[in-house]
Structure 1
Amino acid sequence: MDLGWLWWLGAALVLGVVEMLTVDLLFLMLAGGAVAAAFAGLLGAPLWLEILVAALVSVLLLFGVRPWALAKLKSTTPDAKTGVDAQIGRPATVVADVSDRAGRVKLSGEVWTARIERTGVVLPAGTDVVVVRIEGATAYVAQPETPADPSQPYGPATQGF
């Protein structure tokens, strides 16, 4: 009995591991072709037929299944913002008067250096603000345009979080 089908099964496993590292669904489709070739080999097909089965099934999976599966994967995977990007739009409280030159705000439990972009404006301690952008370790803040709504934990600037 020919054990060539085990090579195809081994190739499918290797391609599956590579897929786990890339999550692009490309190597998964190739692994599907290798599994189909392993079945063909298990049934006693000659090598040329195994290669043909692997190629045909891989192409069918790549062009028939992968676009749909990739769209489904991307639609269910949220674009999670991390680091400083996650802080943009969040509420903060002024702890030391904020002007266009200096200030401090409490943001997500941490005290940050803060600035306001408008010159001549000073926000006193205790004022609720929203983070507009972050440059380095400085949070640029602005007063929210509408009063804070308690039903929206991060205010109107971050709906959808």
Structure 2
Amino acid sequence: MRSFDGPEALTAALGEEIGVGDWITVDQPMIDRFAEATGDHQWIHVDPERAARDSPYGATVAHGYLTLSLVPLFIAGVRRLEGLRLSLNYGLDRVRFPAPVLVGSRLRGRVRVAAANPVPPRGLRVTYGVTVEIDGQERPACLADAVVLHHW
């Protein structure tokens, strides 16, 4: 966990990898809860028997958006912002899903500060470049540039 005591300290980390988070397991109950929350009940996600039979992966796979929804967790897991008053998700600049996340996979986030732009009076719009890695796989599950507005 890396700590930053204000916008200046975070800006100084521009271009740096600031941390690699802990592994989390994407299990079928997590996938099912995401399907319930989003209404996306496609069989490739929620029907283990059919996925074993008909899927090219031989198992269910997580929704791409489930993987993407973990990005804020991965960012928060590697950095602490001292004295922060408020953070707001501002958007995403780029998202790709190079590899599927099979049920039972372990994921972690590798986070870098890709951009940092001052927002007066004590704000900072930060683009975090996040690579979501799959344990034991060469290709990442997700590459995303997440933009967050921080206010101190």
TM-score, with structure 1 as normaliser: 0.23
Structure with larger RCO (C-alpha < 8 A, sep 6+): 2
More strand by share: 2
Select the structure of larger CA radius of gyration: 1
More helix by share: 1
TM-score, with structure 2 as normaliser: 0.24
